[in-house]
Amino acid sequence: MKRIKIVVAYDGTDYCGWQIQPNGITVEEVLNRAVCKVTGEEIHVIGASRTDSGVHALGNVAVFDTESSIPGDRMAYALNRKLPEDIVVVSSEEVPLSWHPRYQDGITKTYEYYIYNAKAPDPLKRRYSTFVSFPLDVENMRKGASYLIGEHDFASFCNVRTNASDTVRRIDSIEVCADGTDIIIRVTGNGFLYNMVRIIAGILIRVGRGFYTPEKVRNILEAKERTAEGVTAPPNGLTLVEIRYPEIE
């Protein structure tokens, strides 16, 4: 028996998120099918991040155990021959059987939220960015984002349906980058609550439009309570870029 770690990229537009559920096709379900076809075994992958419906990824991580003779570093090639074009295994490797994608010390995750800020939408960007027609003050968005850096109770920044008992998380950095009509909010931290990055993006968009002052972000954070003041940005603008782990021993 060996454990294979895979890094997975996908266009989440046509999927009901990562995790298997009864109301639609998911990324996890499609991966399970591919792994079963390649190995001839009944296998269920274990994912690192359960992205929501419509959310994309460049670097989600999963593992599975197999008796297959296919070398770890060749598993990506074998799986990609069985996967649709909108799901790709970027890399694969064998890891210790005890290695788990969610239960590791020192994990950091990076998400990017893409905004297309122009007078008219671009049909070529509609799947991967959120369209905002009103001008956004990027500098004010940066000021508002700065209040979120560090370890805080992010209860105000999670969906009311979250089942997390601990809402304290650490954000290492937030960048708001602008290049013409493209604005990217890049967030890195040790973990994120349900809808947390999309709520951060929604609130920063309100700051950019002038509905909120930058200081309003601090007030929302300190309230530690999910209220109507927080807006959840659409899922299509969000991409899980990378999950970083300490070196595997």
Q: Which residues are marked as active site? A: 52
Three-state DSSP class for residue 13:
helix
* Number of DSSP helices (H) and strands (E) in the chain, helices first: 5, 10
Residue-by-residue DSSP string for 60-84: EEEEEEE---S-GGGHHHHHHTTS-
Which two structure tokens, joined as six digits, stand for 121? 């939408």
Question: With the CA atoms of 215, 217, 220 and 222 taken in that order, what torsion angle do they form, in degrees rounded to the nearest 10?
Answer: -70
Phi–psi pair at 28, nearest 5 degrees: -60, -45
* Whole-angstrom distance, CA of residue 46 vs CA of residue 32: 10
